[in-house]
Structure 1
Amino acid sequence: MNSNNSPLIQAVLVVEDEPAIREMLANMLEDFPVAITSVATADEGFLELYRQPWALLITDVQTPGRTNGIELASAARKHQPEIEVIVMSGYHNALGLPLPPNVSFLAKPWSLDDLYALVEVYLAK
């Protein structure tokens, strides 16, 4: 738990199976007043989803395991309608799955500047 005196600390859940990308996302998010939880799979993301309220979910579509990031994004919006969601993938079209309503999609390879700007907008809400 973050002991920062700022009441603006928001919880962000990052789901990414590539360790280097997961670490880069966590490093980028350190610029914001957030508490970051990072996991490698959508299955782990489902476990975290119900543990606390989240301001933002950033998830890859394809991760190892039984579920994928689209299913996680849908569940997150149903469980917590106010959550902001960013789905990232180079494979989204290959899965043929529709994005849940009000979810942002970033195609890989995405620009760190584009992701940063989107996170900044979402966390300012």
Structure 2
Amino acid sequence: MVDDDRNILDTVVEALRDLDYAVTTAENGHDALERLRNDPGIAILFTDVVMPGGMTGIELARKARELRPALAIVLASGYSESWLEELPEDCDYLPKPYRVAELATKLGAAAGRSGRR
């Protein structure tokens, strides 16, 4: 789970743990890539699109896909969807605000395609 907003990060992590996901967090794209390099057990990348620190969620998704081609990736955003054409192949999108049930459905579908959860 990657989000620069600590309140969102904490809330979503709690919801994901309630859904029986093991969760690793990162506050920016660089930190997330480091975690992906060091933890082959990470099956899904769930990231915000708009983040400070020099790397957007789209850029993170591309770099993560280069690093781990089979990684399931879900991006979330509350901003205009004009960036959707930039979405890397086989990535999912979840518009903000979302409900826990929508999050569970989207992550479950992404994990199913990757063959992992």
Normalised by the size of structure 2, how large is the TM-score? 0.82
Percent identity, aligned pairs only, is: 29
CA distance in 2, matches of 1:119, 1:46: 19
- 1:45-66 deviation digits (Å, cap 9, x = unpaired): 1222211222000000111101
- 1:68-113 deviation digits (Å, cap 9, x = unpaired): 1111111111211111100001235355760000000111112221
Q: Does 1:28 align with 2:15?
A: yes
Gaps of at least 5 residues in structure 1 are 1-13
Match of 2:43 in 1: 55
What is the root-mean-square deviation in Å for CA atoms of aligned residues?
A: 2.0
- Output the amino acid matched with 2:31: E
Aligned pair partner of 2:6 in 19, 31, 47 = 19
Classify the secondary structure of the residue corresponding to 2:93. Answer: strand
CA distance in 1, matches of 2:28, 2:68: 20
Gaps of at least 5 residues in structure 2 are none
Higher helix share: 2
Normalised by the size of structure 1, how large is the TM-score? 0.77
Aligned pair partner of 1:65 in 41, 53, 56 = 53
